[in-house]
Each structure stands twice: as C-alpha cells, then as structure tokens.
Structure 1
Amino acid sequence: MARFEMLDAGSGVMGTTAQADVLLELGMMYAAGRDCEADVVSAHKWLNIAAIKGSARAAELRSELSTTMSKADIAKALREAREWMTAH
C-alpha cells in the first residue's frame, strides 16, 4: 500500500518534523475514513507515533480520539504502535 511506501521512503532521510507530519496525516486519514475505511485503532496508532516523533497536534487529536474508544481498542492501538516503533 502507499502508506508503507511513503514511510519506507522517508526512513532515515526525512527530518523528524516531516516524518511526524506524514504520520499525523495517516492518523487523520484513518480517523476520517479518507481514501480508506475509518479505523479508530489505526488512527490512534499513527497519531500516537506522530506524537512520539514530536507532533503536538497529533497528541491533541489522539487524546480527543481516545475519548470515543473502548479501553480494549486503546490497548490494541498502543500495542500496535509499540510494535511498529520496535520494528522501525
């Protein structure tokens, strides 16, 4: 999928801010269902990773999104984010 191509292309090359912006866009894409099915777990995952990379906006959106999610979904999103960060 294009999302992996974007991320792989930028690994180690993009600055942290630019990478956080791309990850923020992924989170917003999944949250809104833009060009994909809406998926709050994936949205939270990407917003969380963007926040870790330094995006204050992603942290705000992640916080807002988490108020609509179950504890199980939040745990799943955090687990997926941790796995992604470990692999990349």
Structure 2
Amino acid sequence: MGNSFKSAQFLMEARLSRAACGSADDCFDLGVAFSCGTSGLPIDLVEAHKWFNLAALRGSRQGQSMRAEIAEEMTAREIAEAQRQARALIASTQARAA
C-alpha cells in the first residue's frame, strides 16, 4: 500500500511539472484529480478550477466544459482565487522562460 501511494505521488509530481510547462492534457488531468480527489489528492475545487482554466487556455475544450461545470459549485470568491492562481502560475512560468 505504501508503494502505491508513493507511485501515485510520483506521478502527480511529474504531472504538475509537465502541466506548469504547457501541456493542456496534463492540466486537464490535474483538474480531474483535484475535482475528484484521485491519486491521493484532496478534493479542492479552487485547485481544480485553476487547472481546468489553464487547460482551456491551452486549447482544451474538455477543460472549458469542466471549468464551467465545477464553477456552478463554487462561490464567486473561490472562482476569483482560482483565476488569480492560474494567472500567477502563467506569470511565473513566463518569468522562468525569459
């Protein structure tokens, strides 16, 4: 059981790294993981919205759809926080690339 958790944690860390660098699919997968609590992650709709938003910005229609779906379960403040976090991640990624 410990190996399964470590394996899931490694996969999530790798996915976070790829998603931060621009993969719409990885962003979408992280949105799913945070919205459902898969791979050992807690359910976190703000985090899920952030990743679905990033997936949508990178061309994912599924990301657009899921972002809208979970937004129905969130407050305006939570949505604003998710958007702020997405902008911050974009800015930090661009700063590292420069």
TM-score (norm 2): 0.75
**For the Cα contact (< 8 Å) 2:24–2:60, is it kept in 1?**
yes
2:69 paired residue number:
64
Residues 50 and 71 (structure 1 numbering): CA distance in 2 closer, same or farther, change over 3 Å?
Answer: same
Distance in 2 of aligned mates of 1:75 and 1:9: 24
Gaps of 5+ in 1: none
For the aligned residues, what is the CA RMSD?
1.8
Q: Choose the corresponding residue for 2:52, options 33, 40, 47.
A: 47
Q: How many residues align?
A: 82
1:28 paired residue number:
32
Gaps of 5+ in 2: 1-8, 94-98
Q: Choose the corresponding residue for 2:17, options 5, 8, 12.
A: 8
Distance in 2 of aligned mates of 1:36 and 1:82: 22
Q: Does 1:77 align with 2:82?
A: yes
Distance in 2 of aligned mates of 1:9 and 1:59: 19
TM-score (norm 1): 0.83
2:6 paired residue number:
none
